[in-house]
Structure 1
Amino acid sequence: MTGSSAEAGAWIRRFHPAPEAPTRLVCFPHAGGSATFYFPVSRAMSPGVDVLSVQYPGRQDRRGERCIDSIGELADAVVEELMPWADRPLTLFGHSMGASLAFEVALRLESRGIVPLGLFASGRRAPSRFREETVHRADDDMLIDELRKLSGTDSQVLGDPELLRMVLPAIRNDYRAAETYRFPGGPRLACPVVALVGTGDAQVTEDEAAAWAEHTTAPFRVRRFDGGHFFLNAHADEVMAEISGHIAGAAVADSR
């Protein structure tokens, strides 16, 4: 089996290319996050799975580009970038805002006849479960407090005023995208959905996680982990085992 002719660029990062891998995992960062958040996932899962990480504009080496504050607009752009990589089955993983984006990307892929092996929605309520949230309108101090509560931002960044000034615009933008997202309705996914949730995550209730079942005609399940919103930091091995097991099971099913 030979590798794809696609090349990683501004949107898609491929830290550990695995051209012989039979499937690809596409990872979507949380609000304020970057593709490098998934570097350990790429390192651990290669060469069995070819891991692609999405890099949103407005951060790191894309800091000079305009941020996109719409989940729909982001999804439109990501799908176009993913098409060259769709020569292998894709599994989508998104955490927090990234889960909403991964869902919208999955819908767009399926509308083109590309059904993912699965969607992993981590730390995010189902699209049909709306909450009125206004963190993106808060002043800088309140936004920083929110980041500290969720423990998803590097403590070195939070303690460095200069770095904070550099990253806050992108973080605020992402919060705006996440908090203004409204599920537009439409068809259910044809791919399986797995909701991952921290038992102590105030951002996602049991009902909100279970409601992901309403968005697929395929099998659905919830996997719970001890911890808060960023439970996956402490349970990385278990989360990756969950993903690997799902991909392996899907491959066996396809071969029958």
Structure 2
Amino acid sequence: MKDQPEVAWLKIDKWILNTNFDAQNPQGEMSHDFSQVFVNMDGQSLGMYELPAKIPVIGEGVHEFVLLPGIINNGISATKKRYPFVETFTSNIELIKNDTVSITPTTKYYSSINFLIEDFESPSMQLEVSTESNATLGRNNDPEFLKWGNNYGEVILMDSSNLLSMITTFNTVLPKLGSEVYLEFDYLNTNSMLTSVISFGNGNYYEDPYILINPQDENEAVWKHVYLDLKEIVSYRQTTPINEASFQFVLDEDLNSSFFYIDNIKLVYP
């Protein structure tokens, strides 16, 4: 049996997302869930790891490490991907065999990234509730749940006949032809929610149901951040200039009442 090589250890607990003060556009809150890290040493890939991670590295002395933030794409844990809108982290790190080096990588959005944001802070919302809805979209600032700013969005469902459908009203042309486009938001919920993409213009209208956000147990519910990859849908609907995000709620079975809190809705694109 061959002897196992001695290794150095690289310990990475989490990513920190900083504000880019050179950004050309408002970035909103720095909420994120960079739960993965792609690791390169001296130009060679060491793989992707879920955070927190303790990574064995063969080598010693000073080496150049380049770390890239990764996400769970579309809320599907088996689908992990490099997040395309933020900078890499580069550092020269001294490795010592049988010893551990701990680092906390930082990143920030590229300065040219575009954001369309609804954070429930302005007097008017860039969300339109459909006429057939009989539940309401409100704001709340309950300190037990408030995490960013002064308000979060709130949908309360009290009856099996309750439904609510709402759509963003950013009215902005998103890039197509395979450009990266993400819908992101933070949520804390006991009810599910169906996301869709509404595409319209030039006499056409399309509704593409997309990802169902699952409910959380009321006793264990926490704020989560989700990344929904809209590239394929937006590029496929290339004859319609406008693409908006839609959110639909109906009371889940076996529940007498439920809620869905939402904040920091963003469409992010180059």
Common topology (TM > 0.5): no
Higher helix fraction (1 or 2): 1
Higher relative contact order (CA 8 A, sep 6+): 2
**Taking structure 1 as the reference length, what is the TM-score of the superposition?**
0.27
- Tell me which structure has the larger Cα radius of gyration: 2
**Taking structure 2 as the reference length, what is the TM-score of the superposition?**
0.26
Higher strand fraction (1 or 2): 2
